[in-house]
Structure 1
Amino acid sequence: MLNKPINKQMYTAFGLNVLSEIPLPELSINSLGGQHVDVVIHYADLKKEWNSMADGNIYFIVKPDLVMFQIPNLAIFKVEHGKNISFSPTSKVDEDHIRLYLLGTCMGAILMQRKILPLHGSAIAIDGKAYAIVGDSGAGKSTTASALLARGYQLISDDVIPVSLNEGKVPMVTPAYPQQKLWQESIDEFGMESRNYRPIIDRETKFAIPVLAQFSKETLPLAGVFELVKTEDEKVSIKPIEKLERFHTLFYHTYRNFFLKPAGLMEWHFQTCAAMVNHLEIFQLQRPKSRFTANDLTGLILSTIKREVNV
């Protein structure tokens, strides 16, 4: 159960130093000392503030530099100014469940408030460049990324991909933290034993997979985006996404994209995407619903990357 700790701990994730009152074992501990703090995570009593702001049966309040949301029977969360995450848990709550939202929706909001674009997917380091694999829930993002790890490549991020523009307007991907989330079906296909891994709360058939040995700590240029789409066709295929569809793809696969408009970030998002599309290729990978295709997809991704590099 969630017990308020006495000591705070400094961690590193998404290129940020995070000082937290709740243990975050998924993240790398920052043991350097004397480092500046980018984000603070702490307990707070948010009930009165939530009740005064919430209008009816809603779950999210989004304004410039503010995101608040309530998960019934779990907690109220508040994210401010790209620097502060506070949470007010209900009694007798498992801390795994709290961390799921702290490292997901809350960190996604932090990145947006800091003008760092969060894509929803997995990012893999391949030959000194980053490649993002995006798609709807259940499309196979993490599974395809795991198949690439099996071929010797490295994970940069799973679930939330932080993308920022450098001085030359080149999109760069910053490492998140060394963990993947895989469904039971994928674990079985890869010949892994689910009993060796921790199930993710409320998702008993999805597991947290540490990948410390295959985690890239380098910030790398984003060279391509692969969108996974399930189809009824039995074949695996790939096609380029071109022109204005590229903007739609980036918007659609922005993590928690419904935050953008009420947060006043639509213009920033468009300008960021406009700069990004000049530096990367975007493809749609179509895969059948009926069978496991991760190995086929990785072969197609790698051959496409090789072809683009040689053009």
Structure 2
Amino acid sequence: MTIHTTAACGEACPPRYDETLEAHARYRAFGLDIASQVALPELMLASGNAATAADVEIRLASIPSREPHPVSYMHIFSEEELYFSWQQVGRFRVVGTGLIEIDPAPGVDERLLALPLLGPVLGMLLHRRGHLILHASATTLGGRCAIFVGDKGAGKSTTAAALLEAGHALLTDDLVVLSRDMGNAARVELGFPQLKLSENAAQAVRIADAFVEPSVHPAILKRQHRVPSSFATTPIPARRIYLLQRGEAAAVEPLSAKASLLGLMQFSYVTRFGRDALQGSEATRHLDQCARLAGLVGMRRLTVPNGLDRLPEIAALVREDLASDS
């Protein structure tokens, strides 16, 4: 792996955002034009007329605390807003479907601020905009998209990294966002060119020109790997969803329609990070979307052997499975 690093930043390193900033940088991710007062170098810069209204605005604001006493994490979901709080990071509000407000914790590094912002906060905003989101990774292989879902530690990002090492392209990591109008195909929106990998996984794969960010926080073991040279250029319809599980021998087997639906519901982003938002008509819409996706995309169980030396075997198995699909 070609590794580029920046100078390590100690606890005294100042945050990189500017609370007096009025102009907004413009980015593109998940099919959205995003204007942000917070620098988000993880995202691709948007092209086009900066004077036009953005789909989503990210703004610094003063957000009153909802906690009766300090807690490590808290969220409150209502029809009017979504409220998130991480004690060491800051408070966030999603208002409607086009505004994210951020009240950073004193002295927090913006790299740490971006983790929940580009994860649960943006994920829940996208859910509010009508998308089905999976907690997964996705790559494109020969014009076909493979999505990897599974429990924590199953190897979603690591499997995607193995396919990048084999010359394929990343579509998105962590948040897999499906187009709202699936029609006859479930298109995966382009995320941003970054993978989160453990140190062991990063040593096992060699992604050309990967830029490895310094550790964001001692408690966060995975590091961010920027992979602009291995990033897809256009959205692509999902062709296969692989449910990863650990086992002795690498294998792929189809899942029944019922198992596919249950797997999609289990690993949807809102189920894992915002179950309280699934009330009434939202729960019905979510079930309908999962059923629609299960009908459009074949789902397989992918058994992943222990041992990072087996990653090339897994990549070859996925390529073979996709190639055999008529």
TM-score, scaled to structure 1: 0.90
| Aligned-partner residue type, residue 256 of structure 2 | E
Q: Does residue 1:19 correspond to 2:19, yes or no?
A: no
Residue 250 (structure 1) aligns with: 264
CA distance in 2 between counterparts of 1:64 and 1:237 reads 44
What is the correspondence of 1:119-268 to structure 2 with a 5 Å cutoff?
119-166=134-181, 168-190=183-205, 197-202=212-217, 205-231=221-247, 234-257=248-271, 258-264=273-279, 265-268=282-285
Q: 1:138 to 1:290 in 2, by over 3 A?
A: same
- Contact 1:180–1:208 (CA<8 Å) still a contact in 2? yes
1:229/1:19 Cα in 2 relative to 1: closer, same or farther (>3 Å)? Answer: same
8 Å Cα contact 2:58-2:100 kept in structure 1: yes
Can you give the 5+ residue segments of structure 2 that lack an aligned partner in the other structure? Answer: 1-13
Instruction: Measure the CA separation in 1 of the matches of 2:210 and 2:43.
Output: 22
2:120 matched to 1:109?
Answer: no
TM-score normalised by length of structure 2: 0.86
Instruction: Using the aligned pairs only, state the percent identity.
Output: 26
- The answer on whether the counterparts of 1:179 and 1:210 sit within 8 Å (CA) in structure 2 is yes
Deviation at 1:251, TM superposition (A): 0.9
TM superposition shift of 1:230: 1.9
Which 5+ residue runs of structure 1 have no aligned equivalent?
none
More displaced 10-residue stretch of structure 1: 141-150 or 190-199: 190-199
Equivalent in 277, 285, 288 of residue 302 of structure 2: 285
Q: 1:65 to 1:241 in 2, by over 3 A?
A: farther
Shift of 1:260: 4.3
Which amino acid in the other structure matches residue 290 of structure 2?
C
Amino acid in the other structure paired with 1:12: R
Q: Is the 8 A contact 2:42 2:193 kept in 1?
A: yes
2:90 counterpart residue number: 75
- RMSD, matched Cα: 2.4
Q: 1:120 to 1:65 in 2, by over 3 A?
A: farther
Give the 3 Å change call, closer, same or farther, for CA 130–195 of structure 1 in structure 2.
closer
- The number of equivalent residue pairs is 304
| Residue from 65, 72, 78 that aligns with 1:63 | 78
Name the residue aligned to 2:324: 307
CA contact (8 A) 1:133 1:225 kept: yes
Counterpart position of 1:84: 99
Structure with higher strand content: 1
